[in-house]
Amino acid sequence: MDEQTTQDLSVQSDEALLNDQMAVRRAKLERLIQEGRNPYELGIVPTHTARQVVEAFDRWNGEQVALAGRLRAMRIHGGATFADLHDSSGRIQLFVRLDAVGQQAYEAFKDLDLGDIIGVRGVVFRTKRGEVSVEVQEFDLQAKALRPLPEKWHGLKDIEQRYRRRYLDLTVNPDSRRVFLLRSQVVAAIRRLLNERGFIEVETPMLHPIPGGANARPFETYHNALDMPLYMRIAPELYLKRLLVGGFDKVFEIGKNFRNEGISTKHNPEYTSLEAYQAFADYEDMMVLTETLISEVAREVLGTTVIQYQGREIDLTPPWERISMLEAIEKYTGIDFEAAAGREIEVAKAAGVRLPDNATPGQAILETFEQKVEEHLIQPVFVTDHPVDVSPLAKRRKDNPRFTERFEPYINGWEIANGFSELNDPIDQRLRFEEQVRKREAGDDEAHFMDEDFLEALEYGMPPAGGLGIGIDRLVMLLTDSPSIRDVILFPHMRPKGHA
RNA sequence: GAGCCCGUAGCUCAGUCGGUAGAGCACCGGACUUUUAAUCCGGGUGUCCUGGGUUCGAAUCCCAGCGGGCUCACCA
């Protein structure tokens, strides 16, 4: 094992000579190995975190503690050296004195490189300048860093490098750490809030024989043993509704969806959604759940329901405004689609709305909304009552079957969620699928497929239910003031490229 | 997919009209026993994204490509 390691290193060291700093680190590594030391071994195990010691100094003052983390700065003053140790909780200063540790250990400490991962044992004290520190009694090297870290002051700014080498971004950019910690807290809070309300969390397939539950182009793959094509899921919806059929009345799933579509500051090919379904409820109930969830999450992770996004104040405090899609269109464009019933397509085109060739009346309304209205919806608002032909899984309105009991909350001009009273009439659902199949045959490759297996489930009886989907990434963008979805995804997709 | 912008040292960035490649941090050598962006003295460590072209001469101008960002388009 050790021989193997040594061998590999010597092979690599030739190419590493490209960079003086890497050469120095390789040389130190090889010297340690020759001295019989393993520079990648677990040694001193931390008993405390930096934050614990700093925040409860009075409790630990004079006590011996063990800490472990990454060496991030060194200030050498002859026989005394200060260093900054960063662990997952924060930063703490180390103090090493020649007189205290002896010549050999002192030289070894100075020989460490910034970025090395070390363990230390020492006594907590406060320096003359008032900084809580640990006077090191012993230390060990637990991972030699062979590459230099980005600069401590400016951090890693290059956006491409921050995405490609997120570990460096997380190491040196505190704001990036903050975003992903907050993302974790958002997901945890959603889970807890739903659990408190009696929802159970489930996991449904990512690999679908028939991609369904959304209008989107799927990624295709292939299962060798079954000898059949499979699709990465574009939404978990149809499986979660099968669980309603099965008698789970409140279910939710948090997980990835995959859509084989464009990439932008608001779109990543794989993204995380929450979908929740509640039996014996309708879209009104789900709107309340939506505004409650999002505002409670904000309160929990940010301590407020009034947030700042890119310099704009957004008030997430419920209740949110509700407006039907037709009302919203009339409010912002003056177009009255109620009065224009039967002439939707020509009216939309006259207003300068771009439409696909085979657009349906509902598409004309939806496109008008998306192209003319969306951008105005900054403060949270539920847009409701979407046309039935663009809502193939939603229940029709009792008072007007051309529209559905559906809602989409908009915040900052973004569609942040989507929900409706779930269509549980298998006869109507079949008609909707047949309409989608016609669209697909007419060239719409985002139209739904016929899903006989799902229809069969509905035929056994699905309770009336409300459903809700929230885009977690966009929600996290809002809550963390992040301008790009890639800022809230740890490893966003990039074209492959050799290391810079 | 289209338009605009960007790519120089490990990192952050300068680089004028086309004339020997620069700074800060980091790094290397030296001094320094309470500093904290430590300080002081000395040292520039480079595939100027890649490949062509123009030119006596290209980081710089032109063409193509690669990668990235933003805005559109598609979408959540």
Q: Are residues A94 and A237 in the same domain?
A: no
Q: How far is the CA of A6 from the C1' of B31 (A)?
A: 36
CA A453/CA A460 separation, integer angstroms? 11
Q: How far is the CA of A215 from the C1' of B68 (A)?
A: 30
pTM greater than 0.80 (yes/no)? yes
Residue A167: how many CB atoms within 10 A of its CB? 9
Nucleotide nearest to A84 (CA to C1'): B36
Q: How far is the CA of A500 from the C1' of B14 (A)?
A: 21
CA A214/CA A436 separation, integer angstroms? 11
CA A420/CA A117 separation, integer angstroms? 51
Answer yes or no: is A124 within a domain: yes
Answer yes or no: is A316 within a domain: yes
* CB-contacted nucleotides of strand B (7 Å): 1, 9-13, 24-28, 31-39, 45-47, 66-76
Q: Is pLDDT of A364 > 70?
A: yes
CA A144/CA A56 separation, integer angstroms? 31
The DSSP code sequence of A384-415 is: E--BGGG-TTBPBPSS-TTBBSEEEEEETTEE
Nucleotide nearest to A216 (CA to C1'): B75
Give CA A171 to chain center in angstroms: 18
User: To the nearest whole percent, how much of chain A has pLDDT over 70?
Assistant: 96
CA A192/CA A209 separation, integer angstroms? 32
Mean pLDDT across A238-254: 98
Give me the CATH number covering residue A283: 3.30.930.10
CA A402/CA A184 separation, integer angstroms? 41
Answer yes or no: is A351 within a domain: no
Point out the domain boundary residue: A93, A111, A146: A146
Q: How far is the CA of A151 from the C1' of B21 (A)?
A: 22
Nucleotide nearest to A495 (CA to C1'): B67
Q: Is pLDDT of A8 > 70?
A: no
Q: How many domains does chain A have?
A: 2
Give me the CATH number covering residue A68: 2.40.50.140
User: Where residue A18 falls among pLDDT bands split at 50, 70, 90?
Assistant: low
Answer yes or no: is A77 within a domain: yes
**Nearest residue to nucleotide B12 when comparing alpha carbons to its C1'?**
A154
Give the domain range for residue A278.
172-320+379-487
Q: Are residues A189 and A286 in the same domain?
A: yes
CA A252/CA A198 separation, integer angstroms? 10
Q: Are residues A205 and A307 in the same domain?
A: yes
Q: Are residues A282 and A141 in the same domain?
A: no
Are A329 and A365 in contact, with CB atoms under 8 Å apart?
A: yes
Among A251-255, A263-267, A291-295, the range scoring the smallest mean pLDDT is: A263-267
* CA-to-CA separations, A427 to A276, A278, A279, A403, A459, in angstroms, rounded: 24, 22, 20, 17, 8
Answer yes or no: is A139 within a domain: yes
**Nearest residue to nucleotide B44 when comparing alpha carbons to its C1'?**
A20
Nucleotide nearest to A154 (CA to C1'): B12
Query: What is residue A152's predicted lDDT score, i.e. its pLDDT?
Result: 84
Q: Are residues A86 and A206 in the same domain?
A: no
Q: How far is the CA of A448 from the C1' of B12 (A)?
A: 50
Q: Are residues A92 and A54 in the same domain?
A: yes
Q: Are residues A78 and A190 in the same domain?
A: no
- Per-residue pLDDT tens for A409-430? 999 999 999 999 999 999 999 9
Q: Are residues A303 and A403 in the same domain?
A: yes
Query: What is residue A14's predicted lDDT score, i.e. its pLDDT?
Result: 41
Nucleotide nearest to A148 (CA to C1'): B10
Answer yes or no: is A164 within a domain: no
Answer yes or no: is A327 within a domain: no
Q: Are residues A124 and A211 in the same domain?
A: no
Q: Are residues A289 and A383 in the same domain?
A: yes
- Per-residue pLDDT tens for A313-322? 999 999 999 9
Q: Are residues A471 and A384 in the same domain?
A: yes
Residue A421: strand pairing partners: A466
CA A63/CA A86 separation, integer angstroms? 20
Among A3-12, A112-121, A124-133, A472-481, the range scoring the smallest mean pLDDT is: A3-12
- Per-residue pLDDT tens for A19-50? 788 999 999 999 999 999 999 999 999 999 99
Burial of A48 (0-12, 13-18, 19+ CB in 10 A): buried
Residue identified by tokens 């409010």 is: A331
Mean pLDDT across A458-472: 97
Q: Are residues A310 and A437 in the same domain?
A: yes
Q: How far is the CA of A83 from the C1' of B55 (A)?
A: 54
Give CA A137 to chain center in angstroms: 42
Nucleotide nearest to A214 (CA to C1'): B76
Residue A366: how many CB atoms within 10 A of its CB? 23
Are A455 and A426 in contact, with CB atoms under 8 Å apart?
A: yes
Query: What is residue A145's predicted lDDT score, i.e. its pLDDT?
Result: 95
Point out the domain boundary residue: A146, A180, A207: A146
Answer yes or no: is A21 within a domain: no
Q: How far is the CA of A59 from the C1' of B13 (A)?
A: 45
Q: Is pLDDT of A7 > 50?
A: no
Residue A451: how many CB atoms within 10 A of its CB? 21
Residue A328: strand pairing partners: none
Q: How far is the CA of A409 from the C1' of B64 (A)?
A: 47
